[in-house]
Structure 1
Amino acid sequence: MLSLFTSAFLAVIPGFSGTAVDVALYVNAASFAFAAFTIFNLREIPKGAAAKHASETGILKSLLEGWKSVSGSKIIRGLVTGMVGAFIAAGAVIGLARTFVGDLGGGEAAYGILFGAVFTGLAAGIAFGPKVFAQFSRRRLFGASLTIAGIFLVGLAAIPNLVLAVFTVLALGAFSGISWVTGFTMLGMEVADDVRGRTFAFVQSLIRVVLVGVLAIAPLIAAAVGQHTFKFQNTQVSYNGASVTILIAGLIASLIGVISYHQMKDRPNVSLWSDISNALKGELGSITGAPTKGIFIVFEGGEGIGKSTQAKLLKAWLEQEGESVVLSREPGGSDLGIEIRKILLSHSTGEISPRAEALLYAADRAHHVFAVIRPALAAGDVVISDRYFDSSIAYQGAGRILEPNEVARISRWATESLFPTLTIIIDLPAEIGLGRLHSKDRLESQPIDFHERVRQEFIQLSLLDPERYFVVDGNQSIDEIHTEIIARVSEIATLKRNAREDKGALLLRPIRAVNKAVRTTAKRTSASATKAVKSSTDAVRKSATKASKKPAGKKPAKKVKEAPGKSAKK
Structure 2
Amino acid sequence: MTTPGRSATRRKPPHVLANAPFRRLWTAMAICSLGDWLNIIAITAFAAYLTEGSGYKAQSLAIGGVFVVKMLPAILLGPLAGAFADRFDRRLTMFLSDLARFALVLSIPLVGSYQWIIIATFLVECVNLFWVPAKDATVPNLVPKERLEEANQLNLLVTYGTAPIAAALFAVLSVIIEVLGQAVPSLAWEPARPALVLNAVAYLVSAFLIFTLKSIPKEHTVRVTTPSVLRQIMDGWRFVGGNRMVRGLVIGMLGAFAAGGAVIGVAKVYVAALGGGDAAYGTVFAAVFVGMALGIFFGPRLLRELSRRRLFGLAIITAGVVLAATAVIHNLVILVLLVVVLGACAGIAWIIGYTLIGLEVDDAIRGRTFSFLQSMARVTLLLVVAIAPALAGLFGEHSFSLGAGIVYRFDGSNLVMLIGALLAIVVGVLALRHMDDRRDVPIRSDLMAALRGERYVPESVEHSRGMFIAFEGGEGSGKTTQSRLLAIWLRDQGFDVVQTREPGSTKIGMRLRAILLDSAHQGLSARSETLLYAADRAEHVEKVIRPALDQGAMVVSDRYVDSTLAYQGAGRELEPQDVAKVNLWATGGLVPDLTVLIDVPPSVGLTRFASPADRIESEPLEFHERVRREFRALAAADPDRYFVVDGLQTPAEIAVLIQDRVREVLPDPVPQETEAITGTMPVIRD
TM-score band by shorter chain is 0.5 to 0.7
Give the aligned partner of residue 445 of structure 1.
Answer: none
* Deviations 1:272-304, CA, capped at 9 Å, x for gaps: 11202332454317789x99895279xxxxxxx
Conserved? CA contact 1:153–1:172, under 8 Å: yes
* Deviations 1:32-71, CA, capped at 9 Å, x for gaps: 544666799998999x9999999976xxx98765321222
Greater CA drift, 84-93 or 28-37: 28-37
Deviation at 1:212, TM superposition (A): 2.6
Structure 2 CA distance for partners of 1:54 and 1:115, relative to 1, 3 Å: farther
Deviation at 1:222, TM superposition (A): 1.9
Pairing partner for 2:581 from 439, 442, 466: 466
Pairing partner for 1:216 from 372, 386, 392: 386
Conserved? CA contact 1:228–1:239, under 8 Å: yes
Structure 2 CA distance for partners of 1:395 and 1:502, relative to 1, 3 Å: closer
How far apart in 2 are the matches of 1:503 and 1:28? 54
Structure 2 CA distance for partners of 1:28 and 1:507, relative to 1, 3 Å: same
Q: Find out whether 1:126 has 2:126 as its counterpart.
A: no
How far apart in 2 are the matches of 1:278 and 1:418? 29
Give the aligned partner of residue 295 of structure 1.
Answer: 472
Give the aligned partner of residue 197 of structure 1.
Answer: 367
Deviation at 1:245, TM superposition (A): 1.1
Deviation at 1:131, TM superposition (A): 1.0
Conserved? CA contact 1:295–1:494, under 8 Å: no
Give the residue type in structure 2 aligned to 1:466.
Answer: K
Greater CA drift, 133-142 or 241-250: 241-250
TM-score of the two chains, using structure 2 as the length reference: 0.45
2:400 match: secondary structure: strand
Deviation at 1:178, TM superposition (A): 0.8
Q: Find out whether 1:97 has 2:231 as its counterpart.
A: no
Structure 2 CA distance for partners of 1:110 and 1:281, relative to 1, 3 Å: closer
Report 1:259-278 matches (<5 A): 259-278=430-449
How far apart in 2 are the matches of 1:269 and 1:177? 27
Give the residue type in structure 2 aligned to 1:237.
Answer: Y
> Once the two structures are aligned, what percentage of the paired residues are identical?
31
Conserved? CA contact 2:472–2:563, under 8 Å: no
* Deviations 1:174-229, CA, capped at 9 Å, x for gaps: 11111111111111112223322221222222222222332222222222222122
Report 1:259-338 matches (<5 A): 259-284=430-455, 294-295=471-472, 325=480
Conserved? CA contact 2:483–2:557, under 8 Å: no
Pairing partner for 2:396 from 226, 230, 234: 226
Pairing partner for 1:250 from 421, 425, 428: 421
Conserved? CA contact 1:143–1:179, under 8 Å: yes
Give the aligned partner of residue 153 of structure 1.
Answer: 323
Deviation at 1:72, TM superposition (A): 1.5
Q: Find out whether 1:10 has 2:178 as its counterpart.
A: yes
Give the aligned partner of residue 332 of structure 2.
Answer: 162
Pairing partner for 1:368 from 493, 497, 501: 497
Deviation at 1:91, TM superposition (A): 1.9
How far apart in 1 are the matches of 2:439 and 2:298? 27
Conserved? CA contact 1:63–1:205, under 8 Å: no
Give the aligned partner of residue 85 of structure 1.
Answer: 255
Structure 2 CA distance for partners of 1:463 and 1:35, relative to 1, 3 Å: same
Give the residue type in structure 2 aligned to 1:159.
Answer: I
Give the residue type in structure 1 aligned to 2:181.
Answer: I
Q: Which runs of 5+ in 1 are unaligned?
A: 298-317, 338-362, 374-381, 400-406, 426-461, 473-491, 510-570
Q: Find out whether 1:386 has 2:505 as its counterpart.
A: yes
Structure 2 CA distance for partners of 1:327 and 1:112, relative to 1, 3 Å: closer
Conserved? CA contact 1:269–1:464, under 8 Å: no
Conserved? CA contact 2:391–2:416, under 8 Å: yes
Deviation at 1:87, TM superposition (A): 1.1
Deviation at 1:82, TM superposition (A): 0.8
How far apart in 2 are the matches of 1:222 and 1:128? 35
Conserved? CA contact 2:471–2:483, under 8 Å: no
Give the residue type in structure 1 aligned to 2:472.
Answer: I
Give the aligned partner of residue 70 of structure 1.
Answer: 240
Give the aligned partner of residue 645 of structure 2.
Answer: none
How far apart in 2 are the matches of 1:82 and 1:173? 15
RMSD: 5.4
Structure 2 CA distance for partners of 1:260 and 1:324, relative to 1, 3 Å: closer
Conserved? CA contact 1:66–1:198, under 8 Å: yes
Length, aligned pairs only: 376
Which structure would you say has the larger RCO, counting Cα contacts within 8 Å and 6 or more residues apart?
2
Q: Which runs of 5+ in 2 are unaligned?
A: 1-167, 462-466, 507-535, 566-576, 588-597, 607-618, 628-686
2:496 match: secondary structure: helix
1:160 match: secondary structure: coil
How far apart in 2 are the matches of 1:247 and 1:171? 17
Give the aligned partner of residue 286 of structure 2.
Answer: 116
Structure 2 CA distance for partners of 1:417 and 1:52, relative to 1, 3 Å: closer
How far apart in 2 are the matches of 1:326 and 1:270? 33
Q: Find out whether 1:136 has 2:306 as its counterpart.
A: yes
* Deviations 1:475-532, CA, capped at 9 Å, x for gaps: xxxxxxxxxxxxxxxxx996958965765467999xxxxxxxxxxxxxxxxxxxxxxx
Deviation at 1:6, TM superposition (A): 3.6
How far apart in 1 are the matches of 2:489 and 2:171? 75
Structure 2 CA distance for partners of 1:498 and 1:192, relative to 1, 3 Å: same
Deviation at 1:98, TM superposition (A): 1.6
Report 1:433-452 matches (<5 A): none
How far apart in 1 are the matches of 2:546 and 2:469? 28
Give the residue type in structure 2 aligned to 1:114.
Answer: V
Deviation at 1:414, TM superposition (A): 5.9
Structure 2 CA distance for partners of 1:197 and 1:123, relative to 1, 3 Å: same
2:497 match: secondary structure: helix
**Max radius of gyration: which structure?**
1
How far apart in 2 are the matches of 1:213 and 1:69? 25
Structure 2 CA distance for partners of 1:196 and 1:502, relative to 1, 3 Å: farther
1:199 match: secondary structure: helix
1:13 match: secondary structure: helix
Q: Find out whether 1:420 has 2:564 as its counterpart.
A: no
1:236 match: secondary structure: strand
Pairing partner for 2:276 from 81, 84, 106: 106
